[in-house]
Every structure is written in structure tokens, then in C-alpha cells.
């Protein structure tokens, strides 16, 4: 049941991040879920750096969306780079 909740939470976070970040939005549902889950992990790392703690965990919707926006910005910029 916990995996299902991660998938649903990842979908919600990824969809919010895609709505907030202008750019390529032609990605599928699986990439949106992956973006949301990875954003939750990044948000947990940010929370750990700011507030401390013993383990890295997703720390709520706001930090998860911020983490997903960071991941989305990095991947968008890496995708726009041209190799020589």
C-alpha cells in the first residue's frame, strides 16, 4: 500500500511542478511520477540540510514540489545543451 501512495503522491507533485515550470510538457504519466518521487527525495534532502534529522524522508507537499522544480529545471537545461 505504501508503494501505491508514493506513486499517487509522485503523480500529484510531478503534475504541480509541470504546471509551475514553463517548458517541455510533452511527457508521459510515468515520467511525471518519477519526477514527483525524485522531487520528494530532493525536498527531503533540503529539509534535512535546513532542519537536520536522522534520516532523509519526503517532508511534505511544498518541499516536494520545490525539489521537483529543481529536478525539472536541471533536466530541461541538460536536454537543451548541444554537444559539439
Please report the pLDDT score of residue 29 as a whole number. Answer: 85
pLDDT tens figures, 15-69? 898 888 877 667 788 888 888 889 888 888 887 788 776 555 555 788 888 888 9
Q: Does 82 have pLDDT greater than 60?
A: no
What is the rounded distance in angstroms from the CA atom of residue 39 to the CA atom of residue 48?
14
Please give the grid coordinates belonging to residue 83.
554537444
Domain that holds residue 14: 2-80
Domain count, the chain: 1
Q: Which long-range contacts (CB under 8 A, 24 or more apart) does 57-64 make?
A: 58/9, 61/12, 61/13, 61/16, 64/9, 64/13, 64/36, 64/39, 64/40
pTM: 0.78
Amino acid at each position: 500500500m505504501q508503494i501505491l501512495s508514493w506513486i499517487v503522491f509522485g503523480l500529484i507533485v510531478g503534475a504541480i511542478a509541470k504546471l509551475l515550470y514553463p517548458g517541455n510538457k510533452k511527457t508521459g504519466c510515468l515520467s511525471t511520477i518519477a519526477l514527483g518521487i525524485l522531487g520528494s527525495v530532493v525536498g527531503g534532502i533540503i529539509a534535512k540540510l535546513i532542519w537536520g534529522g536522522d534520516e532523509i524522508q519526503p517532508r511534505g507537499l511544498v518541499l516536494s514540489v520545490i525539489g521537483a522544480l529543481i529536478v525539472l529545471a536541471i533536466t530541461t537545461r541538460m536536454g537543451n545543451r548541444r554537444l559539439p
